[in-house]
Structure 1
Amino acid sequence: MVKRVLLIGGGAVALVGVCFGGTAISYFRTSANYVSESVQNAVPIEFQIDRARQMIADLEPQVRRNRHVIAKEEAELEHLGKRIESADARAEKDKENLLRLNADLTSGDDVFRYAGRSYSRDQVKADLANRFKRYKTGESTIESLQRVYDARSRGLEAAREKLDGLIAAQRQLVVEVENLEAQRQMVDAAKTSATYHFDDSKLGRVKELIADLQIRLDTERKMVDAEVYTPGEIPLDEVAPEDVVDQVSEYFGLGKPKSAALVQQ
């Protein structure tokens, strides 16, 4: 069934391509890209950030493998370096022996004595030839080993730089992802602040009640004032005497006030 649907779908696409040419193909490609972009935009940002974190974490096995390769190469290069050093020391010793035999042969003697044994001139000469051949072979081997050592050293240094770059890029990605996470939290906080509404209906009712109480109290106060003062009646209460200032000054021995002195003048 699925195979039949795919065949029908493929045939339909081919038929549209034949009928409408490149325009139809362009429409299909644009639609596919639009759908892909829409699906990607529909994925939550938090999920995408977690996905980025996982992709960064997936780099760790590659880092460990590269570290293992580098460590192994370092060990092999160390072994190769010791091998070259040993070959150099041996070649130096062989060179000393060659020069000794060569010096003996140039002396003109016919019999030579080494380590308690006697050798003829021809024997020493043959031995010198063999030693010289081995020395040149050993010297060539050392040169080859040195070239290998140098090449592998350059490769090792390049691998180290590549690993350092990978680790630095990984750390930078971690920082960038954390920055994205901080920005996401800020955006979420801003959205929460923008969409959060306080229920201030109770507060409004309390304010309205307080205003009503204030009006009632003001009304009652005015009514009390109105009851105290009755228009049309003659006030029977005694008013303050006009010379009260003079009385107070005289009582406390303050002398005549300036106002009284001015009146007398």
Structure 2
Amino acid sequence: MLKKLVLAGTAATLLSGLTIATPIGSYARCGWSYMTNSASDAVPLEWELNRARQLIVDLKPEIQQNARRIAQEKTEVVRLQRELSTTDERLTKAKTDIERLTNDLRDESSVYSYGGVTYTSAQVKSDLGNRFKRFQTRQQTSEKLRQMLAAREASLSAASERMDAMLDAKRQLEVEVENLQARLGALRVAQTSTQLHLDDSALSDTRRLLDDIATRIDVEEETMKVDVEYFGEINLDEPSDENLLDDVTAYMQKLDGGEDQAYVSIQLEEESSNSSL
């Protein structure tokens, strides 16, 4: 009974631990993902572009290593081609010699002469058998070389295609980096223009000050024009003597009339004062 209780308690503890650990684990994963994304977003785009350029530069050693492998494979292919060519030439000569000996033996002669040396029929047959064995062996070697050459050529062709694809991909990456650099430059220019447009209070104040200065200068210039026109102007017309006498007579009469009126006024004042006495 006690054993069952212990097992039940252990199972309950494990289940509760899993229940608690599950949300904690999800929170931890979510937090780690958020921190990773936030850190990635905090990295400047210029830095990321430089990192992309460096990754492209880092492809160079791998490309050089692949190019070295391709060069070695080409060298091996050339060697196999020469070896196969030599083997085929020997096979052709061996076949010609075997056919000659075979035709000679069909004559059923007792002796045969080759190169100034006489051989018996048995010697010629023995030599023909040895030549035929070597021919068969060399022919098998030629077939193996041909298979090896075909395999090497196929491998070389595939490696060359992969190399071309890698170089094309590298060039495409370089073009994309330059395109992103151009887009980023345009973005930075647009952002700078937007910032200047939003913070133009100093420019506006300066513009208003210049407008006020220009207005005051305009007023001063207009004032100078008025003074010169109406108060400092020289009369360019000649004076006329036709009405001079009339003007003098009218002026003198005006003066005489004023004196008479003043005299009458004085007499009236004197008479008034005497009567009061």
TM bucket normalised to smaller? 0.7 to 0.9
Q: How far did residue 159 of structure 1 move?
A: 0.1
Q: Over residues 192-240 of structure 1, what are the superposed CA-to-partner deviations in whole Å (9 max), with x where a residue is unaligned?
A: 111124532232112123335556777898999999xxxxxxxxxxxxx
Structure 1: distance between partners of 2:114 and 2:143: 32
Cα 1:128/1:205, change in 2 over 3 Å: same
**Residue 113 of structure 1 aligns to a residue in which SS?**
strand
Superposition map of 1:37-52 within 5 A: 37-52=37-52
CA apart distance, 1:121: 1.0
Change (3 A) 1:217 1:127: closer
Judged with a 3 Å threshold, the aligned counterparts in structure 2 of structure 1 residues 217 and 72 are, in CA distance, closer, same or farther, namely: closer
Report the alpha carbon displacement of residue 128 of structure 1 after superposing the two structures with TM: 0.6
The 1:32/1:108 distance shift into structure 2, 3 A limit, reads same
- Letter paired with 1:140: Q
Match of 1:142 in 2: 142
What secondary structure does 1:109 align onto?
coil
Corresponding residue of 2:214: 210
- SS of equivalent to 1:112: strand
Matches within 5 A, 1:1-265: 18-196=18-196, 197-198=199-200, 199-200=202-203, 201-212=205-216, 214=218
Alpha-carbon distance between aligned partners in 2 of 1:56 and 1:221, rounded to the nearest angstrom: 74
1:19 to 1:219, Cα distance in 2 relative to 1, 3 A = same
What is the deviation of 1:188? 0.7
| Contact 1:17–1:24, Cα closer than 8 Å, also in 2 | no
- Matches of 1:221 and 1:102, distance apart in 2: 135
SS of aligned partner of 1:119: strand
Shift of 1:75: 1.1
1:80·1:149 contact (CA, 8 Å) conserved in 2? yes
**Does the 8 Å CA contact 1:112/1:118 hold for their aligned counterparts?**
yes
Could you say what the CA RMSD is over the residues aligned between the two structures, in angstroms? 2.7
Question: What stretches of structure 1 of length at least 5 have no aligned partner?
Answer: 1-15, 228-265
What one-letter code is carried by the residue in structure 2 that aligns with 1:136? Q
Q: Taking structure 2 as the reference length, what is the TM-score of the superposition?
A: 0.71
**For residues 96 and 222 of structure 1, do their structure 2 counterparts lie closer, same or farther at Cα, with a shift above 3 Å needed?**
closer
In the alignment, residue 212 of structure 2 is paired with which amino acid? E
Contact 1:17 1:25 in 2 (8 A): no
Normalised by the length of structure 1, the TM-score is: 0.74
Distance 1:190 1:103, change over 3 A: same
Q: Which has the higher helix share?
A: 2
CA apart distance, 1:22: 2.5
Aligned residue pairs total: 215
The letter for the 2-side match of 1:102 is T
Distance 1:120 1:224, change over 3 A: closer
Please state how far the C-alpha of 1:114 moved relative to its aligned partner. 1.1
- Cα 1:195–1:29 change in 2 (3 A) is same
Q: Distance in 2 between matches of 1:115 and 1:78?
A: 37
Task: State the one-letter code of the partner of 2:142.
Answer: I
Identity %: 34
C-alpha distance in 2, partners of 1:213/1:206? 11
The residue type equivalent to 1:209 in the other structure is: I
- The structural deviation recorded for 1:28 is 1.3
Whole-angstrom distance in 2 between the partners of 1:203 and 1:57: 51
